[in-house]
Structure formats: C-alpha cells, structure tokens
Structure 1
Amino acid sequence: MIVRIMGEGQLRLDDSHLSGLNRLDDELLAEVHSDDEDGFRRTLGALLDAVRSLGEPLPDDSLEPSELILPAPDATLAEVRAMLKDDGLIPG
C-alpha cells in the first residue's frame, strides 16, 4: 500500500501493519470527536511516526497513486476532522 503524509511524501507500507495503525486511528477518531487537543496531538504524532518507521520512503520523483492520505504533522484538529470518514483516516 502507498501512503502519503501530506507535506512529506509517500511511503510503501506492507498491509500487515494496518491493524496496528487502525488502533491508533481509532484513538485519534475518539480524540477528535471529544475535542481532546492534547490526546489528538499525541496520537497523530504516534500514527505518523509508526507509518514513517514501518514504511519505506519512495523517491521524491516517484508519483504513485496514494491509497491512503494522512494529514501533515502540524495539521489542526479542525483540519483532521474535515478529513475523517466514519471509520477514521484508515479504512477498516
């Protein structure tokens, strides 16, 4: 799967990591719904760090279609709320 972190680039991520990322995504969804700014900031950072550490960066000149788009690390709670679907940022 190709994941884009807005403002950073794309990473190739094995599908086997999705369940762990979905747990963080569920936490993030709950924090956004409860307007928990501190929890939101912490969990967004953890989610992006996990994708960075588990994924393999694609070259900057590579333009693969992204199957998943995650917000930039400095995204606001309101910006992420606008990106969310019913099941969070990560489907499943």
Structure 2
Amino acid sequence: MIVRIMGEGQVRLAEGHLAELDGLDDELLAEMETGDATGFRRTLHALLDRVRELGDPLPDDSLEPSELILPSPDATLEEVRSLLSDDGLIPPL
C-alpha cells in the first residue's frame, strides 16, 4: 500500500500494519470529537511517526498513486476533520 503524508512524500507500507495504525486513528477520532487539541496533536504525530517507521520511503520522483493520504504533522484539527471519512483516516480492515 502506498501512503502519502502531505508535504513530505510517500512510503510503501505493508497492509499488515493497518491494524496497529487503526488503533491510533481511533484515538485521534476520539480526541477530535472531544476537542482535545493537545491529545490530537500528540496522536497525529504518533500516527505519522509510526507510518514513517514502518514504511519504506519512495524516491521523491516516484509517481505512484497513493492509496491512503495522511495530513501533514502541522495540520490543524479543522484540516484533519476535512480529510476524514466515517471510518477516520485509516480505512477499515
């Protein structure tokens, strides 16, 4: 699966990692619903850090279509809210 982090680039991520990322996504959704800006920022960074750790970066000139697009680390709560589906940022397994 190809994942794009907005403003950074793409990584190739094994689909087997989605369950772990889904847990962080659920936490992020809960923080957004309660308006917990501090928790939201912490969890967004944890999610993106984990994608970077688990994924293999693609070359900057790669033109692979992204199957999953994640917000930049400095995205606001409102910007992330606009990217959400009913299932969050990570698609259901």
Listed as ranges, the matches of 1:6-85 within 5 Å are 6-85=6-85
Shift of 1:33: 1.1
**Alignment gaps of 5+ in structure 2:** none
Q: Which aligned segments of 4 or more residues in structure 1 are displaced greater than 4 angstroms?
A: none
Matched residue pairs, number? Answer: 92
User: TM-score scaled to structure 2, two decimals?
Assistant: 0.98
Amino acid at match of 1:37: A
In structure 2, C-alpha distance between the alignment counterparts of 1:36 and 1:82, rounded to whole Å: 17
% same residue: 74
Whichever residue aligns with residue 65 of structure 1, its letter is P
Q: How many angstroms apart in 2 are the aligned matches of 1:65 and 1:48?
A: 19
- Distance between the aligned counterparts of 2:21 and 2:79, measured in 1? 20
Deviations 1:37-67 (A, max 9, x none): 0000000000000000000000000010000
Distance 1:34 1:81 in 2: 13
